[in-house]
Amino acid sequence: MTNDNENNDLTDSDAHKEETDQTSVDRGGKRILWFTASELAGHGSFPTSDRWTRDHLKELSAGKEHLCRKRKGTKAMEYHISLLPPDTQRSLLGDNLGLVNEAPQPYSSTPIVSDFLDEFALIPGYRIQVSAGHGSLNPDQLDPVRHLAFRRKWLKFRGFDEHELAIVWAKGDSMEPTIHSNDTLVVHLGRNTPTDGHIYIFRNDDELFVKRYQSMLGTWRLISDNSFYPAVDIPKSDQHNFEVVGQVVHIAKDVGD
């Protein structure tokens, strides 16, 4: 795909021939990713009426708002090609764009261009730091502040349910070299019965901290991977004061400057 040619020759809903994002332009002035209703009318099984096409697009984009956006410099909405039925995609991507040589086909739920969310799950990240040191919690922001994408195949391979995962950030050095300060931690919230050797996030009052767990004859031993920090033993009589938030199942970190 090349973007050498600008989109200045597009008409209709482009409002005074304003340029759109260059990523949606192919040679010949044809968009290949994002289309307005007027550009889709008559393609494949879409009706020839702009208004009816617009109504169909609203139905197709319900619940998939990430696949529609306002076209730059206009009031028109444009829609990602993955929303469109296969016959419409073929009409747009074929050698003879705009010429349909086959009878219109009924709508299909299996697009040729796959939806991003079909392949990736978005795991919510919270403005919470768990200490690899003294423990910290930011309770003033409980809504997700960002999302990280993980392939659904990887989640299935690991046996993870995306709805049981959350992302927090580490602070401190007591879990080095395994976990460094500011590392991203993926936490499995459904795994709150600790087993030996695994890393968990524990809560004590308003403090959150991440440690490696070891069972010692009824005592929880919370181990820091950094040998500078001594292990902490939690006797059975005090364990009710601690909550196992979840198991750390993935660590993402930057390397280098």
Q: Tell me what pLDDT residue 71 has.
A: 85
Q: Once rounded to an integer, what is the mean pLDDT over residues 245-254? A: 91
pLDDT for 107: 40
Which comes out higher in pLDDT, residue 46 or 152?
Answer: 152
Lowest-confidence region among 8-12, 68-72, 127-131: 8-12
Judge contact between 75 and 84, C-beta under 8 A.
Answer: no
Q: Supply the pTM of this predicted model.
A: 0.55
Contact 75, 16 (CB under 8 A): no
- Burial (0-12, 13-18, 19+ Cβ within 10 Å), 48: exposed
pLDDT of 15 reads 33
The predicted structure's pLDDT at residue 80: 86
Strand 165-171, strand 120-131: pairing? parallel
Distance CA 176, CA 164 (A): 26
> What is the per-residue pLDDT for 222?
95
Percentage of residues in the chain having pLDDT higher than 70: 74
Counting every residue written for the chain, the total comes to 257
Distances (CA, A) of 72 to 34, 92, 179, 227: 11, 21, 43, 56
Q: What is the pLDDT of residue 17?
A: 39
User: Has residue 147 got a pLDDT over 70?
Assistant: yes
CA dihedral of 92, 98, 104, 106, whole degrees rounded to 10: 30
Q: What is the pLDDT of residue 114?
A: 55
Per-residue pLDDT at 132? 60
32 band by pLDDT with thresholds 50, 70 and 90: low
In which residue are the tokens 């995962």 written?
A: 165
**Per-residue pLDDT, 140:** 42
Out of 10-24, 27-41, 86-100, 125-139, pick the least confident.
10-24
Q: Which residues pair with 250 in a beta bridge?
A: 186
Encoding tokens for residue 25?
A: 């332009």
Lowest mean pLDDT among 137-151, 166-180, 189-203: 137-151
- 208-247: per-residue pLDDT in tens? 889 999 998 889 999 999 999 999 999 999 999 999 999 9
Residue 173 has pLDDT above 80, yes or no: yes
Q: How far is CA 88 from CA 3, 83, 177, 251, in A?
A: 23, 10, 53, 42
pLDDT classification of 28: cutoffs 50, 70, 90: very low
What are the structure tokens assigned to 107, written together?
């709508």
Set out the domains of the chain in order of their start, with CATH numbers. 12-113 (no CATH), 118-252 (2.10.109.10)
Among residues 200, 204, 226, the alpha carbon closest in space to that of 213 is found at 200
Residue 56 phi, psi (nearest 5): -65, -40
How many percent of the chain have pLDDT more than 90? 33
pLDDT band at 19 (very low <50, low <70, confident <90, very high): very low
**Alpha carbon distances (Å) from 94 to 79, 80, 97, 225:** 18, 17, 6, 58
